[in-house]
Amino acid sequence: MKSPSIERLYAQLNKHILLVQSYTEVNEMAFIIKACRLKPHSFIFQKRDTKLTLHRWWFDEFGNSLRIIKNKKIKIAYNDLNLDKSQIICTDLYYGLSVDKIAKMSKLMFLSSMKEEETYQTQMFITFLGLDNFLRSYVNLDGEWLQVSPLCLGMRALKNIARNLDLRYFRELISKENAPLPCASARTWLSSMPPGKEFLQLMTKECNQTLSFLNNKGII
């Protein structure tokens, strides 16, 4: 369940990735870079030099960027206009699969149920950590699950996922700042996959039929 091309790339760049983690002092950075399929801009689009370099500009396969700026701060730029998106290649062998199929191939789930600031309508955001250790994110719009970039989670949520890779059951993340989108209020959880009955019962109350695929598509 791995993409050979990106696995080879990360094998080449392992020391570069660890250098970014050491420099930023973000212990979860290596996981975030790999799980989000980030690539260093200069290495991909300029000169593929394996000399140890602190890459400050990384991009994903959705056209978003993660940059290391002054004072070691990390900035995520969505729909980065500085990227030539026509040159970005998708390496995910499972991109485009339905959310219920991705759920079956995953070992951890991040789920956020958010109330919009103006309408107070509920919006769902879900991310799966696959058995291949890559993140796949979806937002529910008008009853349909649309795949989006895992970088949309933001650094706080990505760090929380990295810190809970061995989660056996589920836990709620108590902070609106864990929500991937601006909202009036939010409830956010992490759960192992397949989810347990207690978590499914909680989701039935909280999310009605939005997550019914977890229960009726062979997940448990």
203 near 190, Cβ under 8 Å? Answer: no
What is the rounded average pLDDT of the residues 103-112? 92
- 216, pLDDT greater than 60: no
| CA distance readout (Å), 52 to 16, 20, 30, 35, 90 | 6, 11, 15, 21, 26
Give the integer Cα–Cα distance in Å for 3 and 16.
Answer: 20
Question: Is residue 96 within a helix (H) or strand (E), and if so which, with residue range?
Answer: none
**180 vs 25, higher pLDDT:** 25
Residue listed under structure tokens 């760049």: 13
- 117, pLDDT greater than 60: no
As a 3-state breakdown, the chain gives helix, strand, coil percent values, each rounded to 5, of: 35, 25, 40
The pLDDT value recorded for residue 217 is 44
- 19, pLDDT greater than 80: yes
SS3 for 156? Answer: helix
The pLDDT value recorded for residue 220 is 39
At 131-187, the pLDDT tens digits run 999 999 998 877 788 999 999 999 999 999 999 999 989 988 876 555 555 555 678
Burial of 217 (0-12, 13-18, 19+ CB in 10 A): middle
pLDDT band at 120 (very low <50, low <70, confident <90, very high): low
Closest CA relative to residue 134, chosen from 48, 219, 10 = 10
At 35-65, the pLDDT tens digits run 999 999 999 888 777 789 899 999 999 999 9
Total-model pTM = 0.88
The pLDDT value recorded for residue 79 is 93
